[in-house]
Amino acid sequence: MRAVILAAGRGSRMGDLTADRPKCLVELAGRPLIAWQIDALTRAGVGEIGIVRGYKGDRLAAYGARRFDNPRWAETNMVVSLIAAEEWLSEAPIIVSYADIVYGPGTVEALVSAQPAPIAVSYDKDWLWLWRRRFADPLSDAESFRMADGRIVDIGRRVTNLREIEGQYMGLLRFQPEGWRAVRNLLDSLSTAEIGKLDMTSLLRRLIERGEAISGVAATGRWGEVDSVSDLKLYERLLERDELTLM
């Protein structure tokens, strides 16, 4: 199994922490975020890891067995970074990870061993535990996520009711080559400008609307999404109290 980490972004909300480095090199408990990801992927049996670079990409020269580049990182969204790794996506099954999340190897193992759906997506069923610690109002940031018969039927919409949320999308996915072909067919119907604005959950929602099967795989253990300095401070506290176990 291969994996690719989408690490092109700066993470401007991190302020001075990303003035001279990409967001994935911000440290949590003394280790860059990308080191946590590589550790979890490697422990789960992933044999080869690629990195999609963008902002300050030269700082990532020491990471990954293969490096891809998104020169348009500043003007495009996550899907363009995904396309940069198309060579791998079209060849064999692959794990795709955002570069600003931390998780344990158990979640990766669950994703790898899940039934071979064309596209599978990790999600956190216990998301409210984390969102209540990150936000005064969890609904201010949460998005819709609903499933039926193991498939995702709704994802990525802003909501006003907790009943529309059965979990939260994490930014950790698995593509089979068949799944990537479905993505490519969709992208071929869009303009360059439309693709540039497309985020990952919007891509998944469009695929669902076209009838593509996307499986949901429940995460194992805690995880974290780093969107702000306050997130880092929270995860430091949770690690100290053994409430966030990543090893």
Cα-based torsion angle of the residue sequence 37, 42, 45, 46 in order, rounded to the nearest 10 degrees: 70
**Domain range summary for the chain, segments of one domain joined by +:** 2-240
pTM of the model: 0.96
Residue 178: pLDDT over 80? yes
pLDDT of residue 246: 84
* CATH no., domain 2-240: 3.90.550.10
Stretch 91-96: mean pLDDT, rounded? 97
CA–CA dist 200, 206 (Å, integer): 10
Q: At which residue do the structure tokens 């020269």 appear?
A: 61
Does residue 194 carry a pLDDT above 90? yes
Sign of dihedral through CA atoms 97, 74, 143, 136?
A: positive
Of the pLDDT bands very low, low, confident and very high (cuts 50, 70, 90), residue 115 is confident
